[in-house]
Each structure stands twice: as C-alpha cells, then as structure tokens.
Amino acid sequence: MYVHKKDYLPLLRTYLGAQWRSVLLMSLLLLISIGLQLANPQLLQIFIDAVLQGSAQSTLILIGVLFVVLALSTQGASIVATYLSENVAWTATNRLREDLISHCLTLDMSFHKAHTPGELIQRVDGDVDALASFFSQAIIQLVGNLILLLGIVLVLFQKDWYLGLMMLGFTALAFVLLALLQKYGRPFWLAYQVKYAEFFGQLGEHLEGTEEVRANGATSFVMRRFHQFARQWWQIDYRRSVAEFLQFAGTLTIFSLGNILALAVGAWLLGAHAISLGTVYEVFYYTNLIILPIKQIRNQIQDLQTADASIERIQNLLKTRSTLTDAHWPVQNTALPGTDTSQTYMLRERYQALPVGALEVAFEHITFGYNVDEPVLRDVNFHLPAGKVLGVLGRTGSGKTTLARLLLRFYDAQSGEIRLSGVPLQKIELEQVRRRMAMVTQDVQLFQGNVRDNLTFFKRHVPDAQINAVLNELGLGRWLQALPNGLGSELGVGGAGLSAGEAQLLAFARAFLENSDLVLLDEASSRLDPATEQVIERAIERLLHGRTGIIIAHRLATVQRADYILILQHGQILEFGPRAELLANPASHFSQLLANNLQVVLS
Ligand SMILES: Nc1ncnc2c1ncn2[C@@H]1O[C@H](COP(=O)(O)OP(=O)(O)OP(=O)(O)O)[C@@H](O)[C@H]1O
C-alpha cells in the first residue's frame, strides 16, 4: 500500500525544515554537477574534432586543461554533496529516532506487552534506517538523475534527432529490462532476508539461554539445529547468488547493447557525413554516462517503496496513544505528525497537585483485568493512612503485583477509583505519580554503565557521600571498596558480575536514593540469604520511616513491621485490617495463617 504524499510532507517538513540551508546547498551542488557532467563530453568532442582539423597545440592544451578542471570540479561537487547529504540524513534520522523512543516510553504497559522489544527495535532502527536514504538522497537525487537523463537526451536531439531517438529508445528499453531483472531477483532476496532474520532470532535465543543450554546438556541439540538451519540457509543463499549473478550479467548485456547501438548509429551517421568523429565519441560517452542515472533511478524508486512501507509503520506507531485516560506525558516534539499540543496543555491544566510528605492510599471498589472479561482484581476496597505500612499477602497469582501496577498507573482499572492523598490517580500528572513512588521488585534491571549511574538513574546532582552512606547501610560497603573504581566502576550488560542478591541490594539502594513518599516492595528480599535479609530488614525500617509503605510478600516474616494487613484471594480481599487487631483476634485469617504457618487460609 502506498502512502499518500501528504504523509511524506509533514515528515520532510519536520525533519528537513531545520536543515533547509544544507538541503538548498545540496540541491545546488547537484545541479552544478549535472551541468558539469553534461559539459564534459562536449569538450571531448571539441578536442577530437580540433585534432582532426589540425588545430594549434596551444588550443588542444587549453581544451585538455579545461577538461581536467571540469572533471575535478564534478568530483569535488559530488564529494561535498555526499558529505552534506549524509549529514542531513543522520541529523534527520537521529531526531526521528529520539522522537520515536520518547514516544514509546510514553506508551503504557499493555502496549509494551503486546509488542516485543525486537519489533520496537525494528521500528526505531530498521525503519528509520530505511528512511535515511529517503531523507538524504531519494527525492533530491531522483529529481537530479531525471534532469541528467533528460539533459543527455536533449543534447543528443540537438546534435541529430536520430541520435536523440536512439537514446530515448535505449533508455526506455533499459528501464523495462532492468525492471524485469529486478522482478526476477526479488523473491530470492526476500527468501534470503526472511531466513537471515530467522537466523538472528534463533542465535539471540540460544545465546541468551547459554547457561541453561549448557547446564542441561542441550549443546548438541542446539548445534544440530544450527547445522540444519545452516544447510537450508546455504541453499537459499546459493539460489540468491545465482540470481544476483544473472542480474549482474543481464545488466552488463543491456549496457553493452547500448554501446553497440551508439557505435552503430554513430558510424552510420558519420558515413553519411551527418556528424563528426568527435560527436561519435561524444555519443559513446553519453551512452556510458546515462547508465548510472538509469540504474540509480531504479534503485531510488525501490528506496521510495521501502520508505513508503517504513513511513506507514512509523506513522502507525506515532498514532498509537496511551490508553490511560486523561493524563499524557508532556509532548516533547510538537511538530511530530499526529500530536495535538492544545489537547496536552488543556490536560496539564486539569492536573491536581499532590500534598508533600507521605501519601495516603485509597482503593475504592477497584475491578481490573488485563483482558476486560477476565478480572484479576475484583471490587478491591481499602484505605491506608499516610505514613503507615501495609503488608499484602496472597497466593501466587492472587493479584498482588497487579495491585502495585495499578498504583503506579501502568494500567487503569476498569471500574472504581484509586486516590493518593484524596486526589484521583487520573488527575495527577503521570510523571508525578512515578516520581513520588519507588518500587523494588524481584526482577532488577541494571543498565550498562557505572555503579553511580545505575543507582541514581544518571542523575548527576546526587552527592557521592549520600550514595556511599546508603551502600554502607545496606551492607554493601565492602563490595564497593573491592571495586576497582568505586562508584565509577562499570557494571556489565544486565548487571553481569553481580549475584542476584547483590543486584537486589542495589535496587534497594535506588529506592533509598529516590527519596519517595510511597515505597512499594514486591517480594523484594526473596533472593537474599537470612543474614543479608536481616541487614535489609533494618535498612527497610529506616527506608519506611516517615513514608507510606506497601510490602508484597509470600512469607509472613516479611510483613512483621506492617501496620495493616491485606490478604488477597483470587483477586478479592479476604481480609483487611490493622495488624495488631488481626493478631489479637484468633478467628482472623491472619492469626490462623500464623498459627498454621501459612498452610490453611490461603489454600
Ligand atoms: N501482563 C499480564 N497480562 C495478562 N495477564 C497477566 C499479566 N500479568 C499478570 N497476569 C495474570 O494476572 C493474575 C495476577 O497476577 P499477579 O502478578 O498480580 O499475581 P501475584 O499475586 O503478584 O503473583 P506472584 O505471587 O506469583 O507474584 C495472574 O493470573 C496472572 O496470570
């Protein structure tokens, strides 16, 4: 499906508009280089005819020098134009990449669950890459090549209309034959590309699972799979190579045909004294010169088709909006196609501010399902005063993590309302919601970067002394001292070189440094040994001081310090109340849970 030109224009205007000077200069250089390319063969013709007419040596030298100057100028113009076009393309595509990444970050979790990282990488990188030549060359060079083509045909018509006709006929024939060759080769290329993508998919999967593959003795199975795959790939690649060779040979034949035609018509016209020998050479030269624009025009039309598909996919991504009602993150680039700033400002005015200090949390009859007709939480209703700690218990799959996700507004509930200190969650700017809360989970994401950046999320203003104090408090002081560069030591990809427990301690350190008003701990100490857990327990005590806390746990010991207890069962509240009260009541589920060591109530 082709994208209408009205879809091209906003992209060109947004991303090339700021670089109009470079684009103008590029177009100018292109026109100059076309003019020079057209002039060069004329000089050769003059030179040959001058030699045949026995002109003075000084005249010949002058023509020769002029030819060299023109040839060098053509090269110079094309070097500068290439430099400019690469610059324009990189600047434009990098801006587009940035816009796409920041747009993806505003989309909610349901979008990210539905689209694999690989797919988004393809959008943000692959599709944008396909647009690079669209921005830098496709349109300008397509026009340039058409002008050059037209120029050559016109020059020849002006020499002799037989020559013009010959060139016109040859150009048309070359286009048709090249299109046929391209059509022939396309299926082989597509099959190759599909296999290529499959190969990298498989390779990625196996490399990620190396540890498991080795531990389970599955190496020979994996190698056999690769071997089978390589055999299929080889066959496909072989057919592609043959097709490619045939295309290459076909193209050469077409252009040899052009040369034969040019020489034959030239010889005939020379014999009839209609043109000079110099002109025969000029025609021969033009026939070779025309080959490049014909080839390039075909490639550029193909580039435009690829760009078409990429533009459509990019537009669709940009049109995807967060499904969270009301609040959107501030739109960074107001010129992006599909963004409506007036709406954003209107929404921002409607935001309500949160009071400072610990936050109060209220769930009012919340019902939510990842799929609308399969509720995961049903009529969840509770109130946690500011500065208090809630312990959430429940069996696997009862909806504990979902509760936290709703609070962080990764999803909106289907019915009911969540309030933070009395303000409905949907009326609070999303950035505020996330800034006022810190969450520590079982799955810690560490980034390639140094310890400092990983702990502060690249915030430079956090003093080293504060980070050191937090690490010491978490019992990571010795670990830090053992690092070669202290806080500046690099962590490998995904926190390589750290044990799972150490990584979890670093996640705690992040929460400490964020200085949030509501702390969510989701099975956060599950990977720690008992001794480390004790260190963490004391640290959590301090972390929660003066803040509201929600601790999601499987083990009862983890919720010892909670002021309130909430027990979830199949997405519904089985019990909620102050911990002391529930403890004092032997009939409460919590007391029975303690008495039976977690066996009875949650089953
Ligand atoms: N992204 C998702 N898409 C669809 N269903 C989901 C998603 N995440 C969780 N669920 C489902 O929602 C239910 C509740 O999951 P949740 O993670 O909230 O449970 P949990 O009590 O935290 O479990 P655990 O103790 O194992 O962490 C489960 O049945 C789960 O399969």
DSSP secondary structure string for all residues of 152-192:
HHHHHHHH-HHHHHHHHHHHHHHHHHHHHHHHHHHHHHHHH
**Res. 418: pLDDT tops 90:** yes
Determine if ligand 1 sits within 6 Å of the CB of residue 402.
yes
Please state the atom number of ligand 1 nearest to the C-alpha of residue 554: 25
3-state DSSP call for residue 253?
helix
Task: Look at 325 and 261; give whichever has higher pLDDT.
Answer: 261
User: Higher-confidence residue: 168 or 186?
Assistant: 168
Helical (H) or strand (E) element with 476 = none
Torsions phi, psi of 439, nearest 5? -130, 135
pLDDT in tens, 457-496: 877 788 888 888 888 887 888 888 888 888 888 887 666 6
- pLDDT, residue 333, reads 40
Structure confidence at residue 328 (pLDDT): 43
| Ligand 1 site, residue 444, Cβ cutoff 6 A | no
For residue 400 and ligand 1, the question of a CB distance below 6 A is answered with yes
**97-108 pLDDT, tens per residue?**
888 888 888 787
In the chain, residues under CATH classification 1.20.1560.10 are 5-319
Q: Round to whole Å and give the CA distance between 399 and 369.
A: 10
Highest mean pLDDT among 259-273, 302-316, 326-340, 345-359: 259-273
Contact 88, 141 (CB under 8 A): no
Lowest mean pLDDT among 85-94, 189-198, 257-266: 189-198
Q: Which of 36-40, 306-310, 345-349, 567-571 has the highest mean pLDDT?
A: 567-571
Among 471, 551, 480, which Cα is nearest to 513's? Answer: 471
Ligand 1 centroid, distance to 371 Cα (angstroms)? 12
pLDDT of 159 above 60: yes
pLDDT: which is higher, 308 or 348: 308
Confidence of residue 550 (pLDDT cuts 50, 70, 90): very high
Say yes or no to pLDDT of 410 above 70. Answer: yes
pLDDT confidence bin for 377, thresholds 50/70/90: very high
> Which has more confidence, 347 or 203?
203
Q: Give the β-pairing of 423-424 and 377-384.
A: unpaired
Say if residue 344's pLDDT is above 70.
Answer: no
pLDDT band per the 50, 70, 90 thresholds, residue 577: very high
Q: Is the CB of 396 under 6 A from ligand 1?
A: yes
| CA 511 to centroid of ligand 1, rounded, Å | 23
User: What whole-number distance in Å separates Cα of residue 19 and Cα of residue 13?
Assistant: 10
Which residue, among 391, 429, 436, 441, has the nearest Cα to 552 in the 3D structure? 391
Could you tell me which residue, 568 or 202, shows the higher pLDDT? 568
pLDDT at 206: 78
- Which DSSP letter does residue 422 get? T
Q: Is the Cβ atom of 443 under 6 angstroms away from ligand 1? A: no
pLDDT at 174: 86
d(CA 284, CA 270): 13
Report the residue among 393, 401, 439 best suited for mutation to probe ligand 1: largest number of ligand atoms under 8 A from its CB. Answer: 401
State the CATH architecture for 5-319.
Up-down Bundle (1.20)
Query: Which atom of ligand 1 is the closest one to the Cα of 405?
Result: 18
Instruction: Please tell me which residue, 412 or 350, carries the higher pLDDT value.
Output: 412
Going by CA atoms, what residue is nearest to atom 18 of ligand 1?
399
Nearest-CA residue for atom 29 of ligand 1: 397
User: Is residue 338 predicted with pLDDT exceeding 70?
Assistant: no
Residue 409 CA to residue 429 CA, distance in Å, equals: 11
Does the CB atom of residue 524 touch ligand 1 within 6 A? no
| C-beta atoms surrounding 302 within 10 Å | 13
Are 474 and 535 a contacting pair, CB within 8 Å? Answer: yes
- Is a pLDDT exceeding 50 seen at residue 327? no
Confidence of residue 449 (pLDDT cuts 50, 70, 90): confident
Q: Tell the CATH topology of 361-446+498-595.
A: Rossmann fold (3.40.50)
Q: How far apart are CA 539 and CA 95, in angstroms?
A: 43
- Residues 29, 34: Cα–Cα separation, whole Å: 9
Q: Is the pLDDT of residue 579 over 60?
A: yes
User: What is the rounded distance in angstroms from the CA atom of residue 190 to the CA atom of residue 182?
Assistant: 12
> Where, residue-wise, is CATH 3.40.50.300 in the chain?
361-446+498-595
pLDDT > 70? residue 439: yes
The finding on whether 394 has its CB within 6 A of some atom of ligand 1 is yes
ipTM greater than 0.90, yes or no?
Answer: yes
Burial class (CB in 10 A: 0-12, 13-18, 19+), 218: middle
What is the average pLDDT value for the chain, to the nearest integer? 82
Residues 6+ apart with CB under 8 A from 63: 43, 46, 47, 50
Confidence at residue 574, expressed as pLDDT on a 0 to 100 scale: 93
Task: Convert the pLDDT of each residue in 267-305 to its tens digit.
Answer: 998 888 888 888 888 888 888 888 888 888 877 777 777
For ligand 1, atom 13, name the residue with the nearest CA.
397
Residue 527 per-residue DSSP state: T
Per-residue pLDDT at 533 exceeds 90: no
Tokens, residue 192: 């190759």
Q: Does the CB atom of residue 377 touch ligand 1 within 6 A?
A: no
Atom of ligand 1 nearest to the CA of 398: 21
Least confident span in 29-33, 82-86, 440-444, 522-526: 522-526
Q: What is the mean pLDDT of residues 59-79?
A: 90
Cα 175 to Cα 298: distance, rounded to the nearest angstrom: 8
Confidence class for position 345, pLDDT limits 50, 70, 90: very low
Instruction: Give yes or no for residue 522 having a pLDDT over 80.
Output: yes
- Closest ligand 1 atom, CA of 110? 1
Looking at residue 90, what is its pLDDT?
87
- The pLDDT, as a whole number, for residue 493 is 66
pLDDT more than 90, % of the chain: 15
